[in-house]
Amino acid sequence: MSILKGRGGRVRVKEEDEDEDEENVGDVEFGKFSSAAVGDPDTMAKMQAILSQFTEEQMSRYESFRRSGFQKANMRRILASIIGSQKVSMPMTIVISGIAKMFVGELIETGRMIMAERKEMGPIRPCHIREAFRRLKLEGKIPKQSVPRLFR
């Protein structure tokens, strides 16, 4: 057994036996769910079922997704440039950061599905991201631009 310290000071215990390690990974993730999800046994059971079916690569991507986020100062600056002279509140910044994170996650997962369709392996490439964006736009998951672009 070894103790690993991850990003943000998170401590994880790694078992030497691979089988035990895969079982323990699902248990580690439950500490990150919201208080509403922790109190609901149905939600916990569903998440346990989903996490137990993840491959090692999927679990790694899921953990990376849970840890990732946008810097609040950068998001605040972008929001201020969009809405003009209005003051940008911290709750607004957090909400927009969450929406942006969900969008990027959807884009990456669609790109991974495209790679699987094409039977390609390895890291996701810009061509997969562009195709994922095109598909999401066709599905109506990306809003249309209200102001036309000057240069294409």
Give 28-58 pLDDT, tens digit per residue. Answer: 444 444 444 556 888 889 988 999 999 998 8
- Does residue 131 carry a pLDDT above 60? yes
* 11-14 vs 2-5, strand pairing mode: antiparallel
- Mean pLDDT score, 100-109: 93
- Does residue 19 carry a pLDDT above 50? no
Question: Environment class of residue 71 by beta-carbon count within 10 Å: exposed (0-12), middle (13-18) or buried (19+)?
Answer: exposed
pLDDT at 102: 92
In the DSSP assignment, the letter for residue 88 is: P
Q: Confidence band (pLDDT; 50, 70, 90) for 87?
A: confident
Q: Confidence band (pLDDT; 50, 70, 90) for 94?
A: very high
* H/E segment holding residue 24: helix 18-29
- Does residue 111 carry a pLDDT above 90? yes
- Mean pLDDT score, 87-103: 92
pLDDT at 132: 97
**At what angle are helices 41-52 and 18-29 packed, to 10 degrees?**
140
Residue-range domain boundaries for the chain:
1-68, 69-142
Mean pLDDT of the chain: 79
* H/E segment holding residue 2: strand 2-5
Classify domain 69-142 at the CATH topology level. Histone, subunit A (1.10.20)
Q: Confidence band (pLDDT; 50, 70, 90) for 104?
A: very high
Task: Using the structure block, give the residue that is written with the tokens 């631009």.
Answer: 145
Residue, of 12 and 61, whose pLDDT is higher: 61
pTM: predicted TM-score of the whole model, two decimal places: 0.62
- Mean pLDDT score, 110-133: 96
